[in-house]
Amino acid sequence: MVVVVTIISSFIFPAPPPKALNIFFGFCIIMICSSVLVLIFWYRQGDLEPKFRNLIYYCICSIILLCLCANLYFHDVGR
């Protein structure tokens, strides 16, 4: 859900038309999410050992923090 809000924010804020940097930031987040989704898919199929579960949790937390930073940047918080 946080990723969806971030991607939408990258196209809408600060004002249409969107900045190229915001779209690039959103694209990078989508690329990171796709690799984590592949890891989750492999884990659920049983192709990964259980020790990779902690790595998946770590990556998900990193994505959430990255989305938080992106939203703060998109909305010009701190200026």
Give CA–CA dist 25/10, Å, rounded.
8
What's the CA gap between 74 and 57, in Å, rounded? Answer: 26
What are the structure tokens assigned to 54, written together?
A: 């902690």
Count Cβ atoms within 10 A of the Cβ of residue 71 and give its class: 0-12 exposed, 13-18 middle, 19 or more buried.
Answer: middle
Per-residue pLDDT of the chain (79 residues; tens, 9 = 90+): 999 999 999 999 877 788 899 999 999 999 999 999 999 999 999 999 989 999 999 999 999 999 999 999 998 887 7
Q: What is the pLDDT of residue 64?
A: 97
What pLDDT does residue 67 have? 96
The H or E element containing residue 28 is: helix 20-45
Cα–Cα distance for residue pair 52/47, rounded to 1 Å:
10
Q: What is the pTM of this model?
A: 0.88
